[in-house]
Chain A
Amino acid sequence: MQQVPLEHALLVAAILFGIGLTGLLARRNLLFTLMSIEILLSAAGLAFVAAASRWGQADGQVMFIFILVMAGAEVSVGLALVLQIHHALKTLDSDAIRQLRG
């Protein structure tokens, strides 16, 4: 039975994480920022589940559930904020929101 090495699974998670990071740093649109965060969280969850599978335990999936919960809460609040920003500043450019500079 050919099995998948753990390293490969974790590597996939790392790559997904890297892509998410790139998206977070490169895109100016606030929505893309939030999307990239979701990608990051998903990648982290994948890593957890892969680790759990290696040990044959359910703890990793429990952590995955918690990550999911957190993502949900964060997305709802984040999107509400996006709506507020769009309403106030008429733009979604994160570089335009610089009131905390200096």
Chain B
Amino acid sequence: MATLSAGAFYVFSGLAILATLLVIVQRNAVHALLYLVVSFLAVAGLLFVLGAPFAAALEVIIYAGAIMVLFVFVTMMVSPGQEAATADARWGLLKALVGPAAIALLLIVELGSVLVHAPAAHVGADVISPKEVAVALFGTYVLGVELASMLLLAGLVGAYHLGRRMLQRDREGETG
């Protein structure tokens, strides 16, 4: 079981990294979104291996399920396929990657060097059940829950308001 866990961990990590890399180099937004979904699923696998099944489930449901779907909808509305791809190509993708890649690499190296000097510890030993999470969530962090719900409300109202404006303009455009 442990060997499987360790092996699964590295497989899922490699998958996640590969998929994420592919996301940022895609020309087509839809392709990128699909790769992103794969990436999230891989991360969900990682979470599961790390003994957090509840978090893994949430990652799949909310991240890959809700957020990505939203992305797909908007992408469909906004950029109809081919035209966007050529536009992006015009913007010199490869050249633009060099600098940011360098920065990111340096950052990773820095973080890595910190980790190297950290005391040895291991993950994935225990499985933390949803019950424990729920106890912590609604016990110690109940205030956070309330704040999070307020945040969601704000997001909801904001999105609705912004969308409504567009809706009105469309209606005026049709009639006027």
Contacts and interface: CB of A to CB of B under 8 A. Distances in A.
Interface of A: 1-12, 14-29, 31-32, 34-36, 38-39, 42, 45-46, 49-50, 52-54, 56-62, 64-66, 68-77, 79-84, 86-87, 92-93
Contacts of A24: 100
B91 to A, nearest CB: 5
B32 A18 contact: no
Given A39-B36, A75-B67, A14 B112 contact: yes
A5 B162 contact: no
Nearest to B77: A83
A3 B122 contact: yes
Contacts, number: 260
Contact of B107 (A21, A29, A59): A21
A38 B67 contact: yes
Question: Which 9 residue pairs are nearest across A and B when measured between Cβ atoms?
Answer: A73-B155, A23-B24, A25-B100, A1-B2, A18-B104, A80-B162, A3-B122, A58-B136, A76-B159
A28 B163 contact: no
Contacts of B120: 5-6
A7 B5 CA distance: 16
Nearest to B40: A42
B100 to A, nearest CB: 3
A95 B36 CA distance: 24
A54 B155 contact: no
A62 B20 contact: no
Nearest to A91: B87
